[in-house]
Chains A and B, each alone.
Chain A
Amino acid sequence: MRLAHIFSIAVLVLLITAAIRTASSVNTAIGPPAVDSEIAGLDAAVARLNAWFQKRWEEEGILPAAPADELTVFRRMSLALFGAVPSLEEIRAFEQDTESGRIPRWIALMLKDPRYSDYIADRLSRSLVGVEQGPFIIFRRDRLTDWLSEQLQRDVSWSQMTRDLIAAEGLWTDHPAANFITIARMENEELDENKLAGRTVRTFLGQRIDCAQCHDHPFDEHWKQKDFDGLAAWYCQADVSFAGVSDSPLDKQKQPVVYRVTPPGKDVADARVIPPAVPFHEEWLSETGTLRRRLADWVTHPDNKRFERAIANRIWGLMFGKPLHSPVDDLPHPEGASEDALDILGQEFRRRDERLSVLISIIALSAPFQCSSESPSVTDADYRRQAESWAIFPLVRLRPEQVIGSLFQAGRVRMVNQNSHPLTRLQKLTLENDFVQEYGDAGEDELIPQTGTISQTLLKMNGRFSQELAKVDLLTGPSQILNLSADDGSIVDNAFLMCLTRRPSQEERLTFLNQLQGLHHADAAVPAKAIDQQQRAEIVEDLFWALFNSPEFSWNH
């Protein structure tokens, strides 16, 4: 018993020692990334997209906002790809990279970071399988998310991922893509073909046809009820059993498995057999394969513009916080319309093996993403025109996971990633889950901009999360910058960089510097009063509190 006790204490001491070492050392691993030839090869695609926006702005007589400074763009990229603000450590490395073409190089670096694949996988899995609760659902969603992350890390094409998801076979553990199907299992253990049809069209084709389950689409004449039923029928032979997901063309009586729909108010005996069908371009269907495989081929067919436009719009939404067309999965009918930004993004994406990294890079390098969020407009109407035409970076409230991700990162000097100490990662995981639960999960609608609530504001102001992370304590970032910064001015600079990814304005710097030095900010003639170490700690904590609660922290800009 005593030995076990001693062993536990020894392990704890080792962990804490390692954590202290990790927290206080300076990482020299981050350096300027190498030039990435692939990103450089996107110049023409970016120029084409920018030309489209430029033409639109000129036609509408809109003056775009000036380019944002590169640190701001770096912050946007970090929020979009990692779900958190950049660490002080990363900011230093970014600033040390003084060669031209810094942004493209850092995009390439970030796309190789496991934080990118983990974070974007989590976002994609929400659209693929929702956020329903329940232990089995959570386990399966987690496996699916891990699988998506692996695909993103390998830069697998979105077409391939889509085909794997729609037509997956096997156990939910060994073939995690199959969980796109297994999560649609209902309480009676049968698959919900309607749910799968709705999700397929929303996620992969960017159209909401769920209402067509009961009636023709009221606003889009292209979607009829029979289209919905026909699409659902492609899933009728999918079967989930202990052996995993498979396709069963014949039932136990050796009869073909068909899809039946019972009209409302009618008996099951009145059910109609609905053959698998697609609403347009039947010629895109492959001739052979399981029903799901044939549907997957049709969805991802190279001529199916909906497919590329849907993912381009979703990635745009993840990069900016709001999609080009909102809602993200309710795009207008693409055929016959004049070419728009989604068409350009989609075509460039198709030309480059349909990889999400390509879409992300083009969008991050585009003029709208590089625009400032500061408006030179003089009237409300001018600002609205700018905002509607993406001539200014939109102010978008951070999603819950971005808020806690940023709070956690801003409370540390070093970046928090897979190489962080296990205690740090455990703390992050626990805090993130608790925070999102209390703050409120945005669910599947996370790309619909929302304002904050009183509960959320109170949680951020007075809740344990911001209190803990702003605390000047043994291993915290505020403690490190208080004790290790070269001078008081550096304390203020570092706090601003950690929270807002910028340096303070002159007025801000002077105000907080005066606080640290016991000077009355409004009257230089008042002599300084002595400030002890405890008071300095409280001043730094209050500075972090103010930065955490500022709109600049909570809104992507």
Chain B
Amino acid sequence: MESLTMDRRYLLQGLTTAGLSFCLPALSARAAQRRGWERPRSLIVLWMNGGMSQLETWDPHPGTPSGGEVKDLATTAADIRISSLMPQMAEQMHECLLLRSLTSKEGDHEAGSAFVRTGYRPEPTLKYPTLGSIIAHELPQPALEIPPYVVLTPRIPVPEGGYLGNEWNGFRVFQPGSGVSNLSANVSESRQTRRLEGLDLVSRQFTRQRGFAAGEILQQETMGRALQMMQSEQRKAFQLEEESEAIQNAYGRTEFGRGCLVARRLVETGVRAVEVMLPGFDTHISNHQGHITQCQILDPAMATLLHDLRQRDLLQSTIVLCISEFGRTPRINPAGGRDHWPGWFSCVVAGGGFREGAVIGATPSDIPSGDPPMPENPVSVPELYATILALLGVDGRKEIITPIGRPIRFVDAPPSELMLRDPGVLKTL
């Protein structure tokens, strides 16, 4: 019986056979061996899919017309009280900046997600790249043998690279913690060699007369990267076997909990952007009960992630953002649910140089009639993203000429000094 696993020697041989050895990177020390500011910087987005209620999580208004059944809780950050459904996060708020005044104009899931993922309102004529795609595009990591932007979710659609090209789409992992689909050839080494030799022969026949055109299609390069990933030691970052029972329990034995733990491992390995999705927030019915269920998943996973990153000295170089496509209405509907509310919503951002234990923005407790008023100190999504990009060392004002000939900035806003632990850092970036 021949071994189904292939070693690096075999990979080198296979890639060379297929004329693909040019794409092998020079292997350097694992990114995980570096700590603090020296590390490559990364972003982890915890995406609350469906529209998280700010009132049951980060911005409770107990005992008010809009408050519902929620109770609040003191936190480790002075003057910040959050929902009692988030007791573990209450212990981590000294690490976090809480934004309670994000605003949007997009009230349906598709448009809201497109806006919050990209910082641009969706338009039919141009697809904007998501924040993760921009970061992966702008912060190349030559030693990385796995994709620089990973999305841990079984849901579709995958966040896209938009005008940057689909090679910057998020790399989707369907079952976090269980490895990556389609990463094994499932045939013996000798058969895989035969396959690659056959592929090489047929490919050479095709490219022989199409030299310049064939060079543009990037098929060989993509194939090389895929083959490389199949063999890389770094793919262990997708697995949890090396993690203790205790840490897995702390994150929570849920898909989202496993996703957060994999996110930490990916960042340790040098992945630039990770998104972990928690679906189930579209609580048009029984909103409070729905958020009890959701927070039981979110709270331990996010709190443990922040604690774990801090313990490993990774929080200085890693930004963690918990965000949703919009918030939910102050008014509770007859089914006990809350509907879509882009007027104001909350997010939490931590690490990477953001202020800690602070809050920006405030929202009214009464139920507005007519058009919603603006919250206090409103914050725009582009402003938040400009700040994230600045802290990661990416020039958010850089213009890219899009395929339709329009020059577009990555974000159409300047970074916010108000969000930074050290505002002076902007001058040095």
* Per-residue contact bits, chain B 193-205, to A (CB 8 Å; 1 contact, 0 not): 0111011011101
Query: How far does the Cβ of A442 sit from chain B's closest Cβ, in whole Å?
Result: 9
Indicate whether A505 sits within 8 Å of B205 (C-beta atoms), given known contacts A210-B125, A374-B210, A451-B165: yes
A461 in the interface (beta carbon within 8 A): yes
Indicate whether A542 sits within 8 Å of B198 (C-beta atoms), given known contacts A453-B167, A550-B203: yes
A383 in the interface (beta carbon within 8 A): yes
Residues of the B chain whose Cβ atoms lie less than 8 Å from the Cβ of A199: 124
Query: How far does the Cβ of A200 sit from chain B's closest Cβ, in whole Å?
Result: 12
Residues of the B chain whose Cβ atoms lie less than 8 Å from the Cβ of A507: 201, 205
- Chain B CB within 10 Å — which of A211, A437, A463 has the most? A211
B246 in the interface (beta carbon within 8 A): no
B29 in the interface (beta carbon within 8 A): no
Q: Quick check: A554 and B219 within 8 Å, CB to CB?
A: yes
Complex CA–CA separation, A285 to B107 (angstroms): 36
Q: Quick check: B199 and A451 within 8 Å, CB to CB?
A: no
Indicate whether A550 sits within 8 Å of B199 (C-beta atoms), given known contacts A452-B219, A508-B205: yes
Query: How far does the Cβ of B210 sit from chain A's closest Cβ, in whole Å?
Result: 6
Complex CA–CA separation, A208 to B181 (angstroms): 39
Q: Quick check: A511 and B198 within 8 Å, CB to CB?
A: yes
B interface, how many residues as a size bin?
Answer: 35 or more
Residues of the A chain whose Cβ atoms lie less than 8 Å from the Cβ of B218: 451-452
Interface residue ranges of A527-557 to B (CB < 8 Å)? 538-539, 542-543, 545-547, 549-552, 554-555, 557
Contact of A453 among B186, B187, B206, B222 (CB under 8 A): B222
Residues of the B chain whose Cβ atoms lie less than 8 Å from the Cβ of A515: 194
Residues of the A chain whose Cβ atoms lie less than 8 Å from the Cβ of B217: 395, 397, 451, 551, 555
B110 in the interface (beta carbon within 8 A): yes
Q: Quick check: B182 and A375 within 8 Å, CB to CB?
A: no
Query: How far does the Cβ of A377 sit from chain B's closest Cβ, in whole Å?
Result: 7
B225 in the interface (beta carbon within 8 A): yes
Q: Quick check: B212 and A374 within 8 Å, CB to CB?
A: no
Complex CA–CA separation, A554 to B211 (angstroms): 17
Closest chain B residue to A539 by CB distance? B194
Residues of the B chain whose Cβ atoms lie less than 8 Å from the Cβ of A459: 181-182
Q: Quick check: A545 and B195 within 8 Å, CB to CB?
A: yes
Residues of the B chain whose Cβ atoms lie less than 8 Å from the Cβ of A395: 210, 213-214, 216-217
Q: Quick check: A454 and B229 within 8 Å, CB to CB?
A: yes
Residues of the A chain whose Cβ atoms lie less than 8 Å from the Cβ of B125: 202, 208, 210-211, 327, 329-330
- Chain A CB within 10 Å — which of B123, B207, B220 has the most? B123
Interface residue ranges of B163-209 to A (CB < 8 Å)? 165-167, 169, 171-172, 180-187, 191, 194-196, 198-199, 201-203, 205-207, 209
Complex CA–CA separation, A377 to B206 (angstroms): 16
* Per-residue contact bits, chain A 115-130, to B (CB 8 Å; 1 contact, 0 not): 0000000000000001
A339 in the interface (beta carbon within 8 A): no
A187 in the interface (beta carbon within 8 A): yes
Query: How far does the Cβ of A530 sit from chain B's closest Cβ, in whole Å?
Result: 16
Query: How far does the Cβ of A29 sit from chain B's closest Cβ, in whole Å?
Result: 32
A interface, how many residues as a size bin?
Answer: 35 or more
Q: Quick check: A462 and B182 within 8 Å, CB to CB?
A: yes
Complex CA–CA separation, A210 to B123 (angstroms): 7
B27 in the interface (beta carbon within 8 A): no
Complex CA–CA separation, A456 to B223 (angstroms): 10
B404 in the interface (beta carbon within 8 A): yes
Q: Quick check: A444 and B124 within 8 Å, CB to CB?
A: yes
Residues of the A chain whose Cβ atoms lie less than 8 Å from the Cβ of B424: none
- Chain A CB within 10 Å — which of B107, B171, B182, B225 has the most? B182
Indicate whether A549 sits within 8 Å of B182 (C-beta atoms), given known contacts A373-B210, A440-B166, A454-B147: no
Complex CA–CA separation, A380 to B212 (angstroms): 6
Residues of the B chain whose Cβ atoms lie less than 8 Å from the Cβ of A542: 187, 191, 194-195, 198
Indicate whether A546 sits within 8 Å of B202 (C-beta atoms), given known contacts A395-B214, A440-B158, A453-B166: yes
A441 in the interface (beta carbon within 8 A): yes
Contact of B225 among A380, A394, A454 (CB under 8 A): A454
Q: Quick check: B212 and A383 within 8 Å, CB to CB?
A: yes
A445 in the interface (beta carbon within 8 A): yes
Q: Quick check: B198 and A451 within 8 Å, CB to CB?
A: no
A448 in the interface (beta carbon within 8 A): yes
B226 in the interface (beta carbon within 8 A): yes
Residues of the B chain whose Cβ atoms lie less than 8 Å from the Cβ of A218: 406
Complex CA–CA separation, A453 to B212 (angstroms): 21
Complex CA–CA separation, A101 to B320 (angstroms): 65
Residues of the A chain whose Cβ atoms lie less than 8 Å from the Cβ of B214: 395, 551
Closest chain B residue to A382 by CB distance? B212
Q: Quick check: A455 and B211 within 8 Å, CB to CB?
A: no
Interface residue ranges of B219-233 to A (CB < 8 Å)? 219-220, 222-223, 225-226, 229-230
Complex CA–CA separation, A170 to B230 (angstroms): 55
Contact of B186 among A187, A211, A441, A462 (CB under 8 A): A462
B39 in the interface (beta carbon within 8 A): no
Query: How far does the Cβ of A79 sit from chain B's closest Cβ, in whole Å?
Result: 16
B334 in the interface (beta carbon within 8 A): no
Q: Quick check: A327 and B404 within 8 Å, CB to CB?
A: yes
B414 in the interface (beta carbon within 8 A): no
Query: How far does the Cβ of B192 sit from chain A's closest Cβ, in whole Å?
Result: 9
Q: Quick check: A458 and B185 within 8 Å, CB to CB?
A: no
Closest chain B residue to A380 by CB distance? B212
* Per-residue contact bits, chain A 15-32, to B (CB 8 Å; 1 contact, 0 not): 000000000000000000
Interface residue ranges of A290-322 to B (CB < 8 Å)? none
A467 in the interface (beta carbon within 8 A): yes
Complex CA–CA separation, A374 to B211 (angstroms): 9
A408 in the interface (beta carbon within 8 A): no
Complex CA–CA separation, A459 to B182 (angstroms): 6
Query: How far does the Cβ of A441 sit from chain B's closest Cβ, in whole Å?
Result: 7
Q: Quick check: B198 and A383 within 8 Å, CB to CB?
A: no
Q: Quick check: B182 and A461 within 8 Å, CB to CB?
A: yes
A457 in the interface (beta carbon within 8 A): yes
A241 in the interface (beta carbon within 8 A): no
Chain A positions within 8 Å of B, measured between CB atoms, are 130, 132-133, 187, 198-199, 202, 208, 210-211, 218-219, 267, 326-327, 329-330, 373-375, 377, 380, 383-384, 387, 392, 394-395, 397, 437, 440-441, 444-445, 448, 450-459, 461-463, 467, 500, 505, 507-508, 511-512, 515, 538-539, 542-543, 545-547, 549-552, 554-555, 557
11 residue pairs of the A-B complex, CB under 8 angstroms, read A208-B125, A327-B403, A395-B217, A444-B124, A445-B127, A454-B147, A454-B171, A455-B171, A463-B182, A507-B201, A552-B206
- 9 closest A-B pairs by beta carbon, nearest first, are A546-B198, A374-B209, A383-B212, A552-B206, A457-B226, A458-B182, A462-B182, A551-B219, A208-B125
Contacts A458-B226, A459-B182, A538-B191 known; list 18 others, CB within 8 Å: A133-B110, A187-B107, A330-B404, A383-B212, A387-B213, A453-B166, A454-B147, A457-B223, A462-B182, A462-B185, A462-B186, A508-B205, A542-B195, A545-B195, A547-B198, A550-B199, A550-B203, A552-B203
